[in-house]
Amino acid sequence: MRKNAISKDTTDGPGRRRASRFPARPRIKVGILGCTGIVGQQFVRLLEGHPFFKLVAPSASPRSAGEPYGEVVSWVLDGDVPRSARPLEVLETDIARLLATGARIFFSALPAPIAGPLEKLLRENGCFVFTNASAHRADEDVPILVPEINPEHMSLALTQASRWGGAIVAGPNCATAGLVTTLKPLEEFGLNRVSVTTFQAISGAGRRGLAALDIAGNVIPFIRNEEEKIGRETRKILGRAEQGAVAPLPLEITASCCRVPVREGHLMSIEVEFHEKPDTDRVLSSLNGFRSRPQELGLPTAPERPIILRTEEDRPQPILDAWAGSPERARGMAVTVGRPRFLGRSLQIFALVHNTVRGAAGTCLLNAELAFAERLMPRPGRSNGGAR
């Protein structure tokens, strides 16, 4: 435990309190780029009452800018628009306007073509950007970070910060988030080859993503660039960080991706071939017992169990399991796995990930919590960004 850690109660989202290892201090001002989209809304929800961060700079396109958030957003999540966000003016996504708010940490939920140049500009202005967009995931010095899987890759953010003043830390593609979480505890048994077929929810395509006529009662066996992203990103996340870059894991991965008429939650059928036949009990207990750095640190959005192994014959299911994870703040952050079947050297298993929480906003927020807890980002004094 950290030297300055104290045991203290901190607000943990609506109606719930959780013991915190982090001392109360002024919360850090943060912004959300693309605050009106599906992922942006998840950020707004997750930042309500957050113990480290306070939303001061929500931004979106000129279509939404200039209006109070509560009036302009078409809220698609359960419940109402969080109270503290409602009166905030939605800003234009303009560098000068964003910096004028005093925020130096930004969560990005922008379309990739807009995110690319803006995120770089923010980095050059000393900001830390935790992004869902794919624009910089392939950059050598940008980590694709899932705190339970490759927390040591955060060292790349420090390399960036020494060069630019700020850093970009990317979250993975939504399906990749579920795949790497399932694979990490299996790595010790010697991965030889991975094959995955995904059944991905409509919300993965964003608010204006798919025409109802195309997807209602239908399955579309194609998602542009998705299969390539899953292979490339999984190899990078499971790779080794050395000298300011990542050496990807040389693992054969094939993916087939479908869009299905499900609102939220990407289901995937994964086949893992090991070098040798593993002990089946050990494989299952490794999945079920998986814990990592965010759990050790007690980060606010970390699920107590990053993987939940279901034993029923018909789980996981999007409707029943997409919101898996506890405590309350970590709902949707656990990956649910089920139906493990062993055949020779291979394991077949289903996994389910909440695509806009663990697959997007939740992981990016957890990345920021890790950077904060590990003291990698500038901390505010009352004069430089602190906010109660």
Ligand X SMILES: NC(=O)c1ccc[n+]([C@@H]2O[C@H](COP(=O)([O-])OP(=O)(O)OC[C@H]3O[C@@H](n4cnc5c(N)ncnc54)[C@H](OP(=O)(O)O)[C@@H]3O)[C@@H](O)[C@H]2O)c1
Q: What is the contact surface with ligand X in residues (CB under 6 A)? A: 34-40, 60-61, 63-64, 93, 109-112, 114, 132-134, 174, 203-204, 206-208, 355-356, 359-360
Q: How many helices (H) and strands (E) does the chain have?
A: 12, 17
- The closest alpha carbon to 333, from 353, 358, 301, belongs to 358
Residue 28's identity, in one-letter code, is I
C-beta of residue 57 within 8 angstroms of C-beta of residue 29: yes
d(Cα 155, Cα 141) in Å, to the nearest integer? 9
d(Cα 90, Cα 258) in Å, to the nearest integer? 35
Q: Which is nearer to ligand X, 207 or 382 (CB)?
A: 207
Q: Where are the alpha helices (DSSP H) in the chain?
A: 38-47, 69-72, 95-99, 112-124, 155-164, 174-183, 212-215, 226-237, 280-288, 293-297, 318-321, 362-373
> What minimum distance in Å lies between the beta carbon of 35 and ligand X?
6
Catalytic residue among 174, 257, 354, 364: 174
> What minimum distance in Å lies between the beta carbon of 257 and ligand X?
13
> What minimum distance in Å lies between the beta carbon of 9 and ligand X?
33
Q: Which is nearer to ligand X, 36 or 292 (CB)?
A: 36
The alpha carbon of 255 is separated from its chain's Cα centroid by a whole number of angstroms, namely 20
C-beta of residue 42 within 8 angstroms of C-beta of residue 55: no
Catalytic residue among 50, 153, 266, 354: 266
Pair of tokens at residue 88: 């905030």
The alpha carbon of 38 is separated from its chain's Cα centroid by a whole number of angstroms, namely 13
Catalytic annotation present for 35: no
> What minimum distance in Å lies between the beta carbon of 172 and ligand X?
8
> What minimum distance in Å lies between the beta carbon of 76 and ligand X?
9
> What minimum distance in Å lies between the beta carbon of 95 and ligand X?
12
156-192: buried (b, 16+ CB within 10 Å) or exposed (e) per residue? Answer: bbebbbeebebbbbbbbbbbbbbbbbbbbbbeebebe
- The closest alpha carbon to 34, from 377, 297, 360, belongs to 360
Catalytic annotation present for 257: no
Q: Which is nearer to ligand X, 134 or 160 (CB)?
A: 134
**Closest residue to ligand X, based on beta-carbon distance:** 37
Q: Which is nearer to ligand X, 207 or 240 (CB)?
A: 207
Q: Which is nearer to ligand X, 95 or 158 (CB)?
A: 95
Q: Which is nearer to ligand X, 109 or 308 (CB)?
A: 109
The set of catalytic residues is 174, 266
